A = this chain, B = another copy of it.
Amino acid sequence: MTTGSSTEWLARAREEGGPSGEPKRDRQFVEALARGLEVLRAFQPNHAQLGNQEIARATGLPKPTVSRLTYTLTKLGYLTYSERLGKYHLGAPALALGYAVLSNMGIRQLARPHMQELADYSGASVALGSRDRLNLIYVEYCRSNAAVTLRLDLGSKVPIATTSMGRALLAALPESEREHLMDFIAKRDPERWPQIRAGIERGIEDYASRGFTMSIGEWKSDVNGVGVPMIPSDGSPIMVFNCGAPSFQLSRDRLETDIGPRLVNMVRGVEVLLGHH
């Protein structure tokens, strides 16, 4: 299901962009920390409980190393050991980190009223996401009081490959970064790559011509959405907005002619607010 191992990401994280780069050690990069965090990441919402062995398999790290890392994380409270199952699960301190992320993210307060307005107008839900590897993480979320469906929580992930949000991100990314990510997507799912690629390229065109991207049943067959990127003025990473709903509620046509342009407008408005610091 997942990529063979997450070691690839660690390897890439160390190197400069150069694909030719030999294993020149980055004396600045703290391997042990990266590996420890990799262990924490292994605990996805579906993999609630993991033993050392499973973690070793999931991360591609040697057993003794995993053993030491889980030992450390447990002492710090980030992991909790269950005697009954002989497995670890995530502890509350990890949650506190997430809360700090949200409460420190100024853009959320700025954007929320605008997002809510569009959500109410469209009867759909509007979200703000930030990238993590090949996913987008929801950092803000508004839905119309009408909408009953599509409940995604803050902190949850959607793939960049097939969502309108993801395509908006890719379209706005500098060429080199985009290709880097697309390489990974291709590698992870060679089967569907041709269609995925086509969707991304359509997204790039849509973004160039109209300022927003679309996904019509391409992420989940009964969900439609549009996406718009926001490129911050300082060097910080691109954020992405979307507006989406079940397909019976939001037709392709309405997205294209009405919601898409409005989302673009909304993002321009938020950008202005951000400019005022």
- A residues with a Cβ closer than 8 A to B are 13-14, 28-37, 40-41, 43-45, 48-49, 67-69, 71-73, 75-78, 80-85, 89-106, 129-133, 135, 137, 139, 153-157, 233-237
22 contacts between A and B (CB under 8 A): A30-B36, A30-B68, A33-B73, A36-B36, A37-B76, A41-B96, A45-B103, A81-B236, A82-B235, A89-B104, A92-B129, A92-B130, A93-B137, A94-B100, A94-B101, A95-B102, A96-B137, A97-B98, A98-B98, A98-B155, A99-B137, A99-B155
Query: Top 10 nearest A-B pairs by Cβ distance?
Result: A98-B98, A99-B155, A33-B36, A92-B130, A48-B104, A32-B32, A84-B234, A45-B103, A95-B101, A92-B137
Whether A98 and B104, one on each chain, are in contact in the complex, defined by CB atoms closer than 8 angstroms, is: no
List, in ascending order, chain B residues with CB within 8 A of A32's CB.
30-33, 36
Q: Which residues of B contact A77 (CB under 8 A)?
A: 131-133
Contact of B40 with A82 in the complex, beta carbons under 8 Å: no
* Number of this chain's copies in the complex: 2
In the complex, which residues of chain B have a beta carbon less than 8 angstroms from the beta carbon of A98? 94-99, 101, 155
Is there an interface contact between B83 and A234, defined as CB atoms closer than 8 Å? yes
Per the bound structure, the CA–CA distance linking A94 and B133 in Å amounts to 12
Check A72 against B30 for contact (C-beta < 8 Å). Answer: yes
Q: Which residues of B contact A13 (CB under 8 A)?
A: 75-76
What's the Cα separation between A182 and B158 when bound, in Å? Answer: 43
Among candidates B82, B96, B99, residue contacting A234 with C-beta atoms closer than 8 Å: B82
A100 touches which of B29, B37, B90 (Cβ 8 Å): B90
Decide yes or no: A82 and B236 within 8 Å by CB, A92-B139, A100-B94 being known contacts.
Answer: yes
How many angstroms between the C-alpha atoms of A139 and B78 in the bound complex? 14
With A34-B72, A83-B234 given, name 18 new contacts (CB 8 A): A13-B76, A29-B72, A33-B72, A34-B75, A36-B36, A37-B76, A41-B93, A41-B97, A45-B100, A77-B132, A77-B133, A81-B235, A83-B235, A84-B233, A92-B101, A92-B132, A93-B132, A96-B157
- Measured between beta carbons, the chain B residues less than 8 angstroms from A95 are 97-98, 101-102, 137, 139, 154-155
Residues in B neighbouring A82, C-beta threshold 8 A: 234-236
Residues of B contacting A130 with CB < 8 Å?
Answer: 91-92
Which of B78, B80, B99 lies in contact with A37, CB distance below 8 A? B78
Closest Cβ–Cβ distance, residue A184 to chain B (whole Å) = 14
Given A33-B73, A37-B76, A236-B81: A96 and B48 within 8 A (CB)? no
